[in-house]
Amino acid sequence: MTELPAEIRQRLQVDFHRPRYHFLPPSNWMNDPNGLIQWKGQYHLFYQYNPSGPLWGNIHWGHTISDDLIHWRDLPIALAPTPGGPDETGVFSGCAVAYEGQPVIIYTGTRGTRHEIQTQCVATGTDDGLVWQKHAQNPVIHQVPPEAGQTSDFRDPFVWHEADGWYMVLGSRIKDQGGVIFLYRSNDLINWTYLGPLFTGDRRHGVIWECPNFFKLDDRWVLIISSHLGTATGTVLYFVGTYENHRFTPTSEGVLDFGTLYAPLSFVDDQQRRVLIGWLREARSNGEQERAGWSGVQSIPRLLSLDDAGRLHMAPVPELETIRGAHRHWEGIALQGQITLDAQGQALDIAATFSPQANGSCGLALLAAGDQPERIEIIYQAATGQLIVRKVVAEFGHSQSIDSRVVPHTLQPDEPLRLRILLDGSVVEIIANERTSLSSRLYPTQITHNQVHLLGEATTLNSLDIWEMPSIWQ
Ligand code: DQQ
C-alpha cells in the first residue's frame, strides 16, 4: 500500500537531522523554490522535486500550500515531464503570476539526456491552483539569443507586470565571458519579444547565471542571481541600481548568502511585502542523503528591504514569532570566556545583541556537548570585522573534521552586533545585522548534542533571547 505523505513524515520524525519548523517534502529530493504566489489568500510554494529518490534527477514540480508562510500542507505534484514534450527530461525552475483571473506558471522545460535543450513553457491552473494544464503552444520561447554564443543554458523565467505589459528575465551565459540576464516582453504570456540583455556579468560573477529575480524595491531596482561556478552550484549575488530603456545599471552589489542558500525566489504578497525563500543545500555525501531518504530544505521566508548604502536587508517573516515556545532571556553580561547556558535544543530561534570592544570577540556555540569538540560556533571578531562560522563534527567516532567560513561583516562605530540564528536539526540560518547572511548545515552525531554556549572576550552581551521551536507538522 502506498504510504501517505503524513505517514512518511511520521516515520522520518525520529531523524533528528530533519528540520521541524522549516519546509521540506515528506521525503526524497528537493531543490529550488518555484512559482511562489499568493493565490486567493493562500501562499503556494512549488519546488524542484524528484519523486523517485533523494538525489537530483527526474525533476517535477512539488507543491505545498500555507495560510501563514510557516505551516504547510502537502499537495499532489503540480507538474511532471511529458514524454515527447518540451519538458520530457525535466520541469525546471520558474515562477507563477495571476493573469485574467487564473494562476499561470512559466517554467523551463528540458530535453536531452544532459538537459541541453532548454525552452520556456506555460501552464494554467484551475481556480483552486491544484491542477495544471500545459499550454498547447509550448514552448513559448525556444531560441537562445545569438549573442550567447551557446545554446544549452537558458532557463528559470521570472515574470512581472508593468503598465505596458508583461516582462520576463531569463538566466543564461555568454560563452567565454560569464553570466547574462536576457529580457523579454509580452501582452499575453504566450507571444514574447526579445528586448536584449538586461545585464551582463564578467568572470568575477560566475560562469552561468541561474534563477534571476528582478524587481523594484522602494525607488531602486534589485537583481538577484544564483551564480553557477561551472562545476558545482555557487553563490547568490545581488545588484542594486537603476533600470532605464530596458537596461539595468548597478550602483552597488553584494552577496545575498555566503553559505548554503541557493536559487532563491521572491514574490510580493497582499501586504505588499517582498518575500524571499531559498533552497538550503545539504552538506553531506550522496550516500548519506540516500540513507536518510530526503534531501533539501527551504529557508524560513525572509522580508527584503534596502538600506541607504544600497545593501539588501533580510529578516525572517514575523509570522515565525507566533510559533515560538519556551523562552529564556539574558542581558548585561560582561563576557570573558565561555558560559554554558541553561537552554538546550536542536530547534531554536535565537536573537542576540553584543557590544564588542575594538579587540573584542563574541558569539555562540550550538549543538554542543560539554567539553566535546563537536559543535557549530558563530563568532564575530571586531578587530578584523569578520564573522566566522566554525563547524566541528565527530567522524568515525574519534577524529574531527573542521570546516570554517570567514566572511566580512563591518559594523559602524557604536553599532552593536545583532545576530539572528534559526537552528533546526541540521539547518543553521545566520543573519547578522539583517545584512550578512550565512546559512549552514551541521549533522550532529547525537541527539544529546544540544547545548548552547555563550562565547566572548572584551564584549558586553546586551541581550540574548532563546525560544524553543515546535514542529509545524503536528
Ligand atoms: N535548478 C534547476 C534549474 C536551475 C537550477 C534544475 C538552480 O532550473 O537553474 O533543478 O539550482
Verify whether ligand 1 is closer than 6 Å to residue 215 (CB atom): no
CA distance 235 to 463: 32
Best mutation site among 60, 210, 225, 262 for ligand 1, i.e. most ligand atoms within 8 A of its Cβ?
A: 210
- Atom from ligand 1 closest to the CA of residue 208: 9
Residue 229 has what pLDDT? 73
Is any atom of ligand 1 closer than 6 Å to the C-beta of 210?
yes
Q: Does 31 contact ligand 1 (Cβ within 6 A)?
A: yes
* Phi, psi for residue 7 in degrees, rounded to 5: -70, -40
Query: 147 in helix, strand or coil?
Result: helix
Please report the atom of ligand 1 found closest to the CA of residue 279: 11
Mutate to test the pocket of ligand 1, among 46, 47, 48, 87 (most ligand atoms within 8 A of CB): 48
Q: Which of 9, 31, 11, 29 is nearest to 20 (CA)?
A: 9
Ligand 1 pocket test target in 58, 89, 110, 211 with most atoms within 8 Å of CB: 211
In this predicted structure, what is the pLDDT of residue 204? 83
Pocket test for ligand 1, best of 156, 170, 229 (most atoms within 8 A of CB): 156
| CA–CA dist 154, 447 (Å, integer) | 44
* Residue 59 CB-density burial (10 A; 0-12 exposed, 13-18 middle, 19+ buried): buried
CA of 227 to the centre of ligand 1 (A): 11
Per-residue model confidence (pLDDT) at position 314: 98
> What gap in Å lies between CA 461 and CA 419, rounded to an integer?
11
Q: How far is the CA of 82 from the centre of ligand 1 (A)?
A: 18
Backbone angles phi, psi at 12, to 5 degrees: -85, 0
CATH says 22-299 is which class? mainly beta
Per CATH, 22-299 and 322-468 having the same topology is answered no
Chain position carrying cell 558545482 = 232
Spans of all domains in the chain: 22-299, 322-468
Q: Which atom of ligand 1 is nearest to the CA of 210?
A: 9
Angle at 209 between CA 252 and CA 136, to 5 degrees: 125
Ligand 1 atom with minimal separation from the 211 CA = 9
The pTM of the full predicted model, rounded to 2 decimals, is: 0.97
**If you measure from the C-alpha of residue 59 to the centroid of ligand 1, how many angstroms do you get, rounded to a whole number?**
9
Positions marked catalytic = 32
The pLDDT-based confidence of 31 (bands split at 50, 70, 90) is very high
Residue ranges of E strands in 112-164: 117-125, 132-134, 154-162
Paired residues of 161 in beta bridges = 166
pLDDT-based confidence at residue 205 (cuts at 50, 70, 90): confident
Residue 9, SS3 per DSSP = helix
Ligand 1 pocket, residue 48 CB under 6 Å: yes
Distance CA 353, CA 347 (A): 20
87 in contact with ligand 1, CB cutoff 6 A: no
Mean pLDDT of 314-342: 97
Alpha-carbon gap, residue 263 to 141, rounded angstroms: 22
pLDDT, tens digit (0-9, with 9 covering 90-100), for 185-200? 999 999 999 999 999 9
- Ligand 1 atom, smallest distance to 228 CA: 7
User: Would you state the pLDDT for residue 83?
Assistant: 98
CA–CA distance from 118 to each of 77, 88, 111, 243, 291 (Å)? 21, 11, 7, 27, 32
398 has a pLDDT exceeding 80: no
Nearest Cα to Cα of residue 276 among 308, 313, 324, 249:
313
Distance between CA atoms of residues 240 and 252, nearest Å:
5
Q: What is the CATH number of domain 322-468?
A: 2.60.120.560
Instruction: Determine if ligand 1 sits within 6 Å of the CB of residue 349.
Output: no
**For 365-392, how does the pLDDT look when each residue is reduced to its tens digit (9 = 90+)?**
999 998 888 999 999 999 999 999 999 8
Rounded distance from Cα 152 to ligand 1 centre (Å): 13
**CA distances, 316 to each of 45, 50, 429, 431 (Å):** 17, 27, 10, 9
Distance CA 352, CA 193 (A): 50
The verdict on the CB of residue 156 being under 6 Å from ligand 1 is: yes
211 lines ligand 1 (CB under 6 A): yes
> In percent, how much of the chain has pLDDT > 70?
97
Q: How far apart are CA 352 and CA 431, in angstroms?
A: 11
The minimum-distance atom of ligand 1 relative to the CA of 108 is: 8
Judge whether residue 61 has pLDDT over 60. yes
Give the number of the atom of ligand 1 that is nearest the alpha carbon of residue 226.
7
Would you state the pLDDT for residue 170?
98
Mean pLDDT of all residues in 147-158: 97
What's the pLDDT score for residue 447? 94
Going from the Cα of 33 to the center of ligand 1, the distance in angstroms, rounded, reads 10
List of E strands, 201-338: 208-217, 220-228, 235-244, 247-257, 261-268, 274-280, 294-295, 297-298, 302-306, 312-316, 327-336
What the block records as the C-alpha cell of 45 is: 510554494
State yes or no: pLDDT of 474 exceeds 80: no
Name the amino acid, one letter, at 135: H
Tell me the CA distances in angstroms from 228 to 163, 208, 317, one per residue in order. 33, 5, 28
Average pLDDT of the chain, as a whole number: 95
- The answer to whether the CB of 154 is under 6 A from ligand 1 is no
Cell triple for 469: 521551536
Cα-to-centroid distance, 32 and ligand 1 (Å): 6
**Gyration radius of the chain's alpha carbons:** 22
- Indicate which residue's Cα is closest to atom 6 of ligand 1: 92
